[in-house]
Chains A and B, each alone.
Chain A
Amino acid sequence: MRYARSIGLIAFAAALSTMLSGAQAIDDQSKYPNLKGQWHRASPNRWESGGVKAPLTGEYRAVYEANLKAMADGAPGDMASWYCLPQGMPMMMSLYDPMEIIVTPETTYMLISHVNDSYRRIYTDGRDWPAEGDYELTFAGYSIGKWVDEDGDGKYDVLEVETRHFKGPRVYDGTGLPLHHDNKTVIKERIYIDKANPNLLNDDMTVIDNALTRPWSVTKKARRDSRARPMWQTSVCAENNSMVKIGKDPYYVSQDGYLMPVKKGQAPPDLRFFTQSPK
């Protein structure tokens, strides 16, 4: 009988131990999907693709056409990244260079080695939107996320994110497709591993912006690099950038180190502060 009681206690001990380790491990990385590794773009970088057109307002369709014309003439239009400024959201999620995702309970980081080391910080610590003065407007915006266990298996499947508080100018892609210059964009995302392919990441993005007639949803995809230890490189934009902005005008610096116009008939910069005449 004495042994029976001990056996019972031991069984209880084992059960308790399993429960405890299980419960505590849930607070551990095992509760989160495996997002480790290096992620490469696996969908078109253009937002208007496959016959899909941006639901731009008439005013912003005209801004887009002006950007297209400016870029055809060699000028950057609304493309801040021509001057090595960040692409910002949502363009950065097109992954012009690879992305690394770091998941911690409080924050999920997205490090993207494009236009220097761009990054997003998605707070998952249950915070509310910060009060005025407790944040700064950024190209990447301020992101609050929530991990969701959709199938109830005790593991998170989806990271739901909302991003606000932007600065600009920002565009969707390299064609100069514009977001509204008021920068009041709100972007909602559902980020999750593909159920059929653990090496495919989906980012269902919905953009709410005053340049649009309705919310616009597009899914961006990323593929995990198969190498266990992929190489990471920093894209140093300033190293190879030949664009300079003087006043409001863009210019090129030629290979041989001379200032050049970006379009035919462009006037040179104003040199009123120089006492000597140009060569």
Chain B
Amino acid sequence: MPSPASIRAVLLVAMLCATAAAQAHDESKYPDMTAQWVRAHQRSQWDPSKPRGLQQQAPLTPEYQAIFEQNLAALRASTHDVDPQVRCLPSGMPRMMIAYEPLEVIVTARTTYVRVDHLSETRRIYTDGRDWPAQVKPSFEGYSIGKWIDEDGDGKYDVLEVETRHLKGPRFFDADGLPMHQNNRTVITERIYLDPKKPDLLHAQITTIDDALTRPWTVTRDYNRERKPLWPEYLCNEANHHVIIGKDRYFKSADGLLMPIRKDQPPPDLRYFNQAR
């Protein structure tokens, strides 16, 4: 029969081993989010639970509701260029979280990266405990600070809470010209987490606070994990058939020739050419 001292020693062995394991497996504190995520919603309007356009029922101020309606009319008539994506400009936040192309989440202790192939955007969400820096150059994706939360107290993080500021524009919620305020003072808060029942389903609950809105607007977007990802390059400038010359937009035909985008659109001004074709 082992002596009590031996039992205590064996218990100590077990305890020390458990401590060592806990320290070494720091990675296990984080949810398994490092993966390719494909948007779960077929359509790409900002609030996936509602139809596109005016039926989004965005809580816009009257001023920005009028801008939205003008944008919708312009898109229908192709009278002017609304969506910055036709110039291959990034979607920025929060629109990039629509994930037109798959997004990649890379979790490290100090930073969580969200890489979006569409228009090649990368978010760095700093989780190293930093405060807002004194000076930040505004960007389309903004400056993001995050905090991992263990909500159920099981010693593992469940939710990444993020706040994003310091944005620049032009930015829209979606391709229908649903506008954000031109002052770019947007603040976006997010809760990003794996579905408790489906580990291959990621949720991003995104709340936008913007002067174009009468109240914070919360939308939840979902993403499915791709276990065998392919990572093509999405090259906007390679596939882009829009040509912007001054304030006018034209189309490039399959054989590369310049085309009007609407009936009777005049061709570009050729004043700098001294030779006829």
Contact = CB atoms under 8 A, between A and B. Distances in A.
B256 A246 contact: yes
A20 B232 CA distance: 40
Interface in B145-165: none
B269 A278 contact: yes
Contacts of B231: 121, 136, 138
A271 B106 contact: no
A10 B7 CA distance: 11
Interface in B224-257: 230-233, 235-238, 243-247, 252-253, 255-257
Given A140-B233, A267-B275, A246 B87 contact: no
Interface string B64-108: 000000000000000000000001111000000000000000101
B258 interface: yes
B267 interface: yes
A234 B243 contact: no
A129 interface: no
B130 interface: yes
Contacts of B6: 2, 5-6, 9
Interface string A20-45: 11001101100000000000000000
Contacts of B141: 234
A234 B232 CA distance: 20
A254 interface: yes
Given A25-B24, A274-B265, A278-B268, A136 B247 contact: no
B243 A278 contact: no
A62 interface: no
A118 B120 contact: yes
Interface string B190-230: 00000000000000000000000000000000000000001
B99 to A, nearest CB: 15
Interface string B258-277: 11100011111111110111
Nearest to B90: A236
Contacts of A84: 88, 236-237
A229 B134 CA distance: 12
Q: How large is the interface on A (under 10, 10 to 19, 20 to 34, 35 or more residues)?
A: 35 or more
Contact of B124 (A232, A261, A275): A232
Contact of A136 (B26, B232, B276, B277): B232
Contact of A244 (B10, B12, B119, B243): B243
B106 A104 contact: yes
B238 A279 contact: no
Contact of B233 (A138, A248, A257): A138
B252 A102 contact: no
Given A139-B233, A270-B277, A246 B257 contact: yes
A276 B267 contact: yes
A279 B271 contact: yes
A21 B16 CA distance: 10
B269 A273 contact: no
B13 interface: yes
A253 B249 CA distance: 12
A135 B139 CA distance: 32
A13 B15 CA distance: 9
A138 B238 CA distance: 12
23 contacts: A13-B9, A86-B235, A111-B113, A116-B90, A119-B115, A136-B230, A238-B237, A239-B89, A244-B245, A253-B245, A257-B246, A257-B247, A267-B273, A267-B275, A269-B258, A269-B268, A269-B277, A271-B258, A272-B257, A273-B259, A276-B264, A278-B270, A279-B270
